[in-house]
Copies of this chain bind each other. A is one copy, B any other.
């Protein structure tokens, strides 16, 4: 019962009916060409201009000889050009590969090699970073530099992005793109192991973007979204849950530059921002800045936070800060965005510390290691099904076999569902400490140790131990209020008062800082490595 389309040119049907996330810019440019798509530190880029830059980028990349579904490494700092290049890749049937340029050069080199990238687009200010990465990586042949700065990358065929664009005639690129072609490859932040390339198809991402738009109460038409973003755009949160849904529903993205609470609050007031998404610590800084000088924040309809839990007391204050906003925690992972959504209005009294229930296009269950679905309140691995689950990991059949076992995507997160369908997170699967026959959630121990006298922040890990199998170890950053020689005993005493015996750390180590990802998550495998140095 498939239509007989044999009389048609495939390209005709593809262009009329395909799913290509790049087409949303074409639609915006056709319908509201002069509306601001992005306001980048005061520079307004219209839908017409953004789409034109994306189309010319697509044409330029194809003219450089890149092949269908080849990756384009993007080493770019937050700017409107990130989205022009990303959508250009989508339109051309290429794979956008935004890179976390804060990773160690060895990790960046590993990603470029793993992806087999031959071409990189780089912000001018990041050329020195890229050059360090490339010193030992022969794969990249061509570099396109965006913005004013160095115009030559040693040993590579280098082009100026703007000149490439100026040399095109502005015609629309028309390439057949399949629904399940990959549009994006984001490498996981690698909190537990080597980064893995997560492949997302056009159809998955299109559905994810619409689903995210519904969660965050984006609207279509005259009352359009004005969204402020300060998070790094190489990460799925800023890219897939914040910026791209906004462009999908004809909204405006405000990029106020590097995070500064006063700049953020001024931008909300000036641009009548309707949607903000920040880390809890950023919302906290904005609270303080607003006390210093009050701005009109009444335009904000949705205040999102992510990545880490927010204490109820802070949530209440954020709720007050934006008087007309719903406060929402959106959770997910690079492989499944969105996964869950916690609305403060609904969950204030019952599930403030949870991840909330599943998002509209996701089904969540808890699974045991044999593939049996567990009942409410039983703890096991959190697994997902849904049309926006990723296609799999690039170049990694073993990881795919594990990830899709038993017909569910395995998140590597451990938790449980309650009777109301709310997801409660216990820990990352690899961070669960198996000590004396008990499973210890490192997250639970951390939440107590963080409150112990003298502790600024902490990470809890398991260390190999002859007696316990693994021994619970707290690595703490001292805040200087407790003498160094008293710290370990104080932490253990505090833990004993608040935790079950098997959860109490057997040892306490100190560190000056804890290694973190660009979005603030502690990288535990480096914590472990540092202890062995």
| Interface residue ranges, A against B (CB under 8 Å) | 1-8, 11-13, 15-20, 23-24, 26-27, 30-32, 69-71, 95, 174, 179-182, 185, 199, 203-204, 206-207, 210-211, 213-215, 217-223, 248-250, 341, 343, 345-346, 357-365, 384-387, 389-398, 400-401, 404-409, 421
Closest 6 A/B residue pairs (Cβ) = A3-B392, A222-B346, A210-B210, A15-B407, A31-B421, A1-B69
Main secondary structure of the interface of A (DSSP, over half): mixed
- B221 and A341 contact, CB distance less than 8 A: yes
Q: Which chain B residue lies CB-closest to A400?
A: B5
Query: How distant is A372 from chain B, measured CB to nearest CB, in Å?
Result: 14
Contact between A222 and B345, CB atoms less than 8 A apart: yes
Closest Cβ of chain B: how far from A370's Cβ, in Å? 15
**CB–CB B421/A387 < 8 A:** no
Q: Quick one: given A12-B405, A221-B343, are A17 and B387 in contact (CB under 8 Å)? A: yes
Sampled A-B contacts (16; CB under 8 Å): A2-B391, A3-B199, A3-B394, A4-B395, A4-B396, A5-B404, A13-B392, A16-B407, A17-B204, A23-B385, A27-B361, A30-B365, A31-B357, A31-B363, A221-B346, A221-B357
Residues of B within 8 A of A181 (CB): 1-2
A353 CB, nearest partner CB in chain B, Å: 17
* Beta-carbon nearest neighbor of A343 in chain B: B221
CA distance A5 to B406 in the complex (A): 14
A338's nearest neighbour on chain B, judged by CB, is B220
Contact present for A220 and B215 (CB under 8 Å): yes
Complex CA distance for A30 and B31, rounded to whole angstroms: 39
Of all chain B residues, the one with the shortest Cβ separation from A421 is B31
Known: A13-B404, A16-B385, A385-B15. A360 touches B250 (CB 8 A): yes
| CB <8 Å contact, A359 and B401 | no
> With the chains together, A6 CA to B395 CA distance in Å?
11
Chain B contacts of A215 at CB under 8 A?
220-221
| Chain B residues within an 8 Å CB radius of A221 | 215, 341, 343, 346, 357
Cβ of A364 to closest chain B Cβ, rounded Å: 8
Question: Using Cβ atoms and an 8 Å threshold, which residues of chain B touch A1?
Answer: 69-71, 95, 181-182, 185, 199, 394
A5 B407 Cβ-Cβ under 8 A: no
Chain B, Cβ-Cβ closest to A213: B214
Choice from B19, B362, B421 contacting A203 with Cβ under 8 Å: B19
Chain B CB count within 10 A is highest, among A346, A360, A396, for A360
Nearest opposing residue in chain B for A8, CB measure: B404
Chain B residues lying within 8 Å of A387, measured Cβ to Cβ, are 17-20, 23, 206
Give chain B residues whose Cβ lies under 8 Å from the Cβ of A392: 3-5, 13
CA distance A135 to B386 in the complex (A): 44
Q: Are B220 and A391 in contact (CB under 8 A)?
A: no
Cβ of A27 and Cβ of B362 under 8 Å apart? Answer: yes
A216, closest chain B residue (CB): B220
Contact A11–B179 (Cβ < 8 Å):
no
Cα separation A250 to B180 with both chains bound (whole Å): 27
Q: How far is the CA of A389 from the CA of B223 in the complex (A)?
A: 26
Complex contact A12–B404 (CB within 8 A): yes
Q: Which of A15, A362, A387, A400 has the most CB of B within 10 A?
A: A387
- Is the beta-carbon distance between A401 and B8 smaller than 8 angstroms? yes
- CB contacts (< 8 Å) of A70 on chain B: these are 1
Cα–Cα distance between A405 and B13 once the two chains are bound (Å): 8
Residues of B within 8 A of A343 (CB): 221-222
- Bound form: Cα–Cα A8–B393 in Å: 13
A354 to chain B, nearest CB (A): 13
Q: How far is the CB of A313 from chain B (nearest CB, A)?
A: 22
Contacts of A363 in B (CB 8 A): 23, 26-27, 30-31
Q: Smallest distance from the beta carbon of A373 to chain B beta carbons, Å?
A: 10
Task: Report the bound CA distance from A205 to B26 in whole Å.
Answer: 21
A411 to chain B, nearest CB (A): 12
**B contact residues around A389 at 8 Å (CB):** 16-17
Q: Is the CB of B401 within 8 A of A7?
A: yes
Q: In the complex, A217→B301 CA distance in Å? A: 14
Kindly identify which residue among B17, B69, B400 contacts A8, using a CB–CB cutoff of 8 Å.
B400
- Minimal Cβ-Cβ distance residue in B for A406: B12
- Alpha-carbon separation in the docked complex, A364 to B31 (Å): 8
Task: Please determine whether A397 and B207 come into contact, CB atoms closer than 8 angstroms.
Answer: no
From B19, B182, B401, contact of A2 by CB (8 A): B182
**Separation of A13 and B24 alpha carbons in the complex (Å):** 28
Distance in angstroms from A288 CB to nearest chain B CB is 30
Which residue of chain B lies nearest to A21 when distances are taken between CB atoms in the complex? B387
CB of A113 to closest CB in B, whole Å: 15
> Which residue of chain B is the closest to A211 with respect to CB atoms?
B210
Contact residues in B for A19 (Cβ distance below 8 Å): 203, 207, 387
